[in-house]
Structure formats: C-alpha cells, structure tokens
C-alpha cells in the first residue's frame, strides 16, 4: 500500500525497510549516480557546518556515515564527538564498519528517529543532515526537534537534492535522474523500486525557498541557501538564536 503514496507520505517503516535493503550497495551507487560529486558536496557542507570550537555534533539520517566521517577529522579533538542517528540498522552497520576501518574515534552511531531525536534539549553545537530531508515525513516536526536539540547559537546545516529550476540543464537532469537512475539502481543493486522512490522523492520535493521558510518557522534565524549543480543540490544553513537578555 505504501508503494502507492507520494514519497514524502510513505512513513518511517517504509523508509527504514528500503534503506535496510539497499545498504550493501548504497555507497557504490551514490558514487556512480553522482559521478563522485556527492563527496565534494558533503565536504562543502562540513566546511559550512563545523567550527574548530564545536564539541558535539549530530548527523541526522547519517546512513552509512559519510557526512559524519567527512566531519570527523575536524571534530577529532579531546571531547569532540559526532553522533550519527538513523532509522536503518543495516545502514548504521556499514557506518560503524567504516568508522572502525578509518579509526574515526570521534564518531558514534545510534538507532533512532529524526522525529523524536533521542537526546536532551540544547546539547549540540551543530545538527546536520545530508540527503535525508526528502525521506523525513514531517519536516516541520524535524526542524523543531533540531532546534530543541541545539544549544543557543548552535547551527543547523542541511544538504539535499532539489528539482532544478526549469532550464536546458533541468531537462537533461530529468532525463538522467528521473528516467535512467532507477535502471542504474536495478543494474547495480537489483533494486529498481528503491531507486525509483529516490528519483521520485527528488522530483516531487519542495523548493529550496519553501525549505528555508520551514526552517525559519521552527525558530531559526540567519537562514541562508547555497546552490550547487545548477540548483539540483542545495545547502541550507541557519542559527538558533541566543535568548533575549532582559533590559538591564
């Protein structure tokens, strides 16, 4: 039944089962489909996200841990920790294996939901996500959870794919991403349905401006958008405001 619903309404159980199925081939397919650009975009997100003074960082929808592991060298100092949170145990298994292989001692991986972030209020310096927003069924709730988990002055950084604005590039992109990518998913991962879902989740996603508005509505300020790849990939950054001081 969930297969019939638009991508953003299919719910966490559907998403979890899908990522459990594709976990084994997920990294390989990312590299192939994006021509290796995905690693470059994550590096840009980390440069925008992390400051040397940050100690505790949360990567929501961490999957196989690529964003957390990209951030690990920056956060790798005494007391520095990056926690990767995800619904899918199979994705987290890969993340833990990769973290062990790379001796990324600052990373930890935790099973849990973006809609009920399992940490106390005001703990994190940064909450970040890469390519996870399109799968989260209730984005206003997620942005409120991110706001709750951040300390005052902490930063939200989200990287994701968006339908590019109409142009020749957008038409070529549509041909490639919406038509060809599901077949690449079928060829490499034997999972045409999962990669059809991922294509559809981009095709039907909100505009970057609408996401910026949701972030603002959750209580963030200084919301900014950087666009890459003719607008097909966008990085949102925002800050949780410091509480107002009573007039002295």
Ligand X SMILES: C[S@@+](CC[C@H](N)C(=O)[O-])C[C@H]1O[C@@H](n2cnc3c(N)ncnc32)[C@H](O)[C@@H]1O
Total residues at interface with ligand X (CB under 6 A): 23
CA–CA separation, 104 vs 63, rounded Å?
A: 16
The reply to whether 191 sits near ligand X by the rule CB under 6 A is: no
- Tell me phi and psi for residue 91, to 5 degrees: -65, -45
In the set 17, 37, 115, 206, which binds ligand X (CB under 6 A)? 115
Residue whose CB is nearest to ligand X in the complex, by number: 63
| Cβ at position 188, least distance to ligand X in Å | 15
The DSSP 8-state label assigned to residue 136 in this structure reads -
Burial of 21 per CB tally in 10 Å (0-12, 13-18, 19+): middle
63 vs 80 by CB, closer to ligand X: 63
The reply to whether 12 sits near ligand X by the rule CB under 6 A is: yes
How long is the chain?
248
The reply to whether 238 sits near ligand X by the rule CB under 6 A is: no
CB 200 within 8 A of CB 7: yes
Site for ligand X in 122-181 (CB under 6 A): 130-132, 135-136
Phi-psi region of 222 (alpha: psi -120 to 50; beta: other; left: phi over 0): left
| Cβ at position 101, least distance to ligand X in Å | 17
Binding site for ligand X (CB under 6 A): 12, 15-16, 19, 30, 61-63, 66-67, 85-88, 91, 113-115, 130-132, 135-136
């Amino acid at each position: 039944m969930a297969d019939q619903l638009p991508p953003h309404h299919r719910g966490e159980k559907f998403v979890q089962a899908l990522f459990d199925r594709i976990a084994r081939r997920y990294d390989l397919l990312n590299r192939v489909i994006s021509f290796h650009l995905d690693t470059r975009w994550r590096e840009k997100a980390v440069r925008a996200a992390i400051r040397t003074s940050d100690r505790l960082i949360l990567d929501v929808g961490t999957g196989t841990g690529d964003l957390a592991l990209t951030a690990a060298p920056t956060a790798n100092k005494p007391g520095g920790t990056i926690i990767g949170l995800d619904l899918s145990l199979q994705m987290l298994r890969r993340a833990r294996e990769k973290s062990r292989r790379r001796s990324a001692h600052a990373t930890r991986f935790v099973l849990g939901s973006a809609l009920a972030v399992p940490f106390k209020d005001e703990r994190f310096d940064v909450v970040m996500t890469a390519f996870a927003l399109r799968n989260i069924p209730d984005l206003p709730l997620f942005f409120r959870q991110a706001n709750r988990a951040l300390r005052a002055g902490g930063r939200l950084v989200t990287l994701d794919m968006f339908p590019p604005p109409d142009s020749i590039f957008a038409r070529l992109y549509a041909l490639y991403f919406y038509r060809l990518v599901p077949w690449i998913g079928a060829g490499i991962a034997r999972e045409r349905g999962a990669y059809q879902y991922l294509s559809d989740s981009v095709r039907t996603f909100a505009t970057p401006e609408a996401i910026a508005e949701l972030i603002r509505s959750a209580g963030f300020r200084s919301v900014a958008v950087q666009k890459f790849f003719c607008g097909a990939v966008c990085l949102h950054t925002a800050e949780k405001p410091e509480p107002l001081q009573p007039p002295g």
